[in-house]
C-alpha cells in the first residue's frame, strides 16, 4: 500500500441513533402515523421533529385564516354597499299599514252588518185581520199588529166592544207567543178597517191586510 493512499483523510458521518417504539415497533417520530398513535404518545411523548412541523403548519394556517378574514370583510362591505344602492326612500305617511288595513276592513264589515240590521228593523209594521169560523154560525175576528203603531190593545178592545156591541178581549197570539191579539166575537172585518180609519188616523190603510186562505190581501 502506497504513502499517497494512506495520507488521504476518510470522511466520517455522524452516527444517527434511531429510537423504535415498544408498542408499534416504528421509529418514534412516525408513531403518530401508526395504528396505535394514542398509546404511543402516552408511552413516548411527542417527538421534537413533529413539534417543529406542527409549529410551521400552525403559522401557515394562521396566515391563511387572516387572508380569508380579509377577503370576507371586503366581500361583506361590497355587498352592503350594493344593498344600500338598491334601497329607496318611501314616505310611510302615504301608505296604509297592515294593522290599519285590518281595522278598516273590520269597520267596513261592522258597518255593513249595521246596515243590514237596520234594513231588517225598518220593515214596515202591518195590521192583519183574520176572520175564523168556529161553529156553523159563529165567527171570530182576530186583529194582529195594532200595538206596533203605539195603540194600547186594552183600550182598543173597549172601543171595539162598544162600537160593535159584542164580546171583545185581548188574548195571546198563536203565531207569536211574545205578542197579543184582539179577538172580536163576530164577523167584523170591513167594520174594523173603518173603525181604524176613524179612530186611529196615524195607521196607513195601505198596511192593513186581510188574511184569506193563508194569503195576505190588502184591505184598501
**23 has pLDDT over 60:** yes
The counts of H helices and E strands in the chain are: 6, 6
Please tell me the number of Cα atoms within 13 Å of 195 on its side-chain side: 17
Per the CB < 8 A criterion, the answer to whether 218 and 165 are in contact is no
Q: Is the pLDDT of residue 15 over 70?
A: yes
Pairwise CA distance, residues 19 & 54, whole Å: 21
DSSP states of 11-77: P-PPPPPPPB-TTT-SBGGGGGGSTTHHHHHHHH---HHHHHHHHHHHHHHHHHHHHHHHHHHHHHH
The residues pairing with 210 across neighbouring beta strands, listed in sequence order, are 129, 217
Task: List, for residues 103-118, the tens digit of each pLDDT value.
Answer: 556 676 777 777 666 6
Q: In 3-state terms, what secondary structure has residue 218?
A: strand
Q: How many CB atoms lie within 10 A of CB 8?
A: 7
The cell for 132 is: 175564523
The tens digit of pLDDT for each residue in 139-174 reads 999 999 999 999 999 999 999 999 999 999 999 998
Contact 142, 181 (CB under 8 A): yes
Pick the CATH number of 127-218 from 3.40.190.10, 3.30.780.10, 3.20.20.70, 3.40.50.720: 3.30.780.10
The pTM of the full predicted model, rounded to 2 decimals, is 0.46
The set of residues, in sequence order, having a beta carbon less than 8 Å from that of 23 and lying 6+ positions away, is: 31, 36, 39, 40, 43
Query: Strand pairing partners for 129?
Result: 143, 210
Would you place residue 51 in the very low, low, confident or very high pLDDT band (cuts 50, 70, 90)? Answer: low
Among 174, 117, 124, CA closest to 144? 174
Q: Kindly list the domain boundaries of the chain, sorted by start residue.
A: 127-218
pLDDT tier, 30 (very low <50, low <70, confident <90, very high otherwise): confident
For residues 108-131, give the mean pLDDT: 75
* CB 120, CB 144: distance < 8 Å: no
Amino acid at each position: 500500500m502506497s504513502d499517497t493512499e494512506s495520507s488521504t483523510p476518510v470522511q466520517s458521518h455522524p452516527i444517527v441513533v434511531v429510537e423504535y417504539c415498544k408498542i408499534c415497533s416504528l421509529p418514534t417520530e412516525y408513531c403518530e402515523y401508526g395504528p396505535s398513535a394514542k398509546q404511543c404518545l402516552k408511552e413516548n411523548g411527542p417527538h421534537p421533529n413533529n413539534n417543529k412541523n406542527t409549529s410551521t403548519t400552525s403559522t401557515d394556517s394562521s396566515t391563511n385564516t387572516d387572508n380569508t378574514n380579509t377577503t370576507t370583510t371586503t366581500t361583506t362591505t361590497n355587498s352592503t354597499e350594493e344593498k344600500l344602492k338598491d334601497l329607496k326612500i318611501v314616505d310611510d305617511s302615504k301608505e296604509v299599514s297592515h294593522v290599519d288595513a285590518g281595522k278598516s276592513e273590520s269597520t267596513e264589515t261592522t258597518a255593513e252588518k249595521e246596515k243590514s240590521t237596520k234594513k231588517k228593523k225598518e220593515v214596515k209594521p202591518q195590521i192583519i185581520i183574520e176572520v175564523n169560523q168556529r161553529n156553523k154560525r159563529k165567527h171570530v175576528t182576530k186583529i194582529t199588529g195594532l200595538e206596533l203603531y203605539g195603540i194600547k190593545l186594552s183600550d182598543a178592545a173597549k172601543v171595539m166592544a162598544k162600537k160593535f156591541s159584542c164580546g171583545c178581549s185581548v188574548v195571546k197570539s198563536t203565531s207569536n207567543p211574545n205578542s197579543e191579539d184582539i179577538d172580536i166575537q163576530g164577523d167584523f172585518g170591513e167594520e174594523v178597517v173603518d173603525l181604524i180609519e176613524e179612530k186611529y188616523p196615524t195607521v196607513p190603510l195601505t198596511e192593513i191586510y186581510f188574511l184569506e186562505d193563508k194569503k195576505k190581501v190588502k184591505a184598501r
